[in-house]
Amino acid sequence: MDSRAGLAATPGALPYYVAFSQLLGLTVVAMTGAWLGLYRGGIAWEGALQFNVHPLSMVIGLIFLQGDALLVYRVFRNETKRTTKVLHGLLHVFALVIALVGVVAVFDYHRKKGYADLYSLHSWCGLLVLVLYFVQWLVGLSFFLFPGASFSLRSRYRPQHVFFGAAIFLLSVGTALLGLKEALLFKLGAKYSTFEAEGVLANVLGLLLVGFGVTVLYILTRSDWKRPPQAEEQALSMDFKTLTEGDSPGSQ
């Protein structure tokens, strides 16, 4: 490719796919807000509306921000590796913090109402996502952001980090679908089958969630869209596998 020296050319179609993913992601967030506003009375931390903090926070944190964190390496192709890494890590921190607000909201709501916790498939999947997300973030931080890990160790861990990052993101999308379905069936019950407006809106929201997940996965996995190694990384990565100590290229 012509990207080995100097600025890497951005693949022609990539910006359109990224723009489409952002349009989908923002639509999902807006539509979650619209659903809660139109059919669930809006959002508040106190009282019965506290529950509604949960879906909105989870969609912003574990769907939109987590998805965007995965795309950082595709979007920022000419910034230094360190800048891109910090942005990737920060987006994941924001995602985790916002998700934790959503988790606290639902546990607090359950406690006040005397509802049982963690009995449903949605909650089991959600707990799994949170634990895996936190572990992945910690391991990612210690391997890639701290200078301790050797170059060869990083190279061996990187594909695992990417795979599990994508898997956790997809599991987040699946968990959101389960939560949406649960919220619909609890409230609508048999009315769901009469094509109530809320049910149709929520189904469309579900399909858009799937669309966002698929689009992010497509951008992430298309091999000719991967971030090309930059000049200084390229020079350093030439058969340095035996150099098992020292900092990774590009993180000067």
User: What would the x/- binding string for a second copy be over residues 90 to 129, using CB under 8 A?
Assistant: -------------------------xx--xxxx-xx--x-
Among 222, 231, 233, 247, binds a second copy (CB under 8 A): 222
d(CA 52, CA 60): 13
Nearest CA to 68 out of 165, 178, 201, 183 is that of 165
Q: Which of 18, 71, 180, 216 binds a second copy (CB under 8 A)?
A: 180
The 3 state secondary structure assigned to 146-173 is CCCCCHHHHHHHHHHHHHHHHHHHHHHH
State the Cα–Cα distance between residues 147 and 246, nearest whole angstrom.
7
Dist. CA 110–CA 114, nearest whole Å: 6
Interface with a second copy (CB under 8 A), residue from 104, 141, 170, 208: 170
Q: Are 216 and 70 spatial neighbours (Cβ–Cβ below 8 Å)?
A: yes
Q: Of 11, 33, 89, 206, which one interacts with a second copy (CB under 8 A)?
A: 206
Nearest approach in angstroms of CB 177 to a second copy is 6
Footprint on this chain of a second copy (rule: CB under 8 A): 115-116, 119-122, 124-125, 128, 159, 163, 167, 170-171, 173-174, 177-178, 180-182, 184-186, 192-195, 199, 202-203, 206-207, 210, 214, 217-218, 221-223
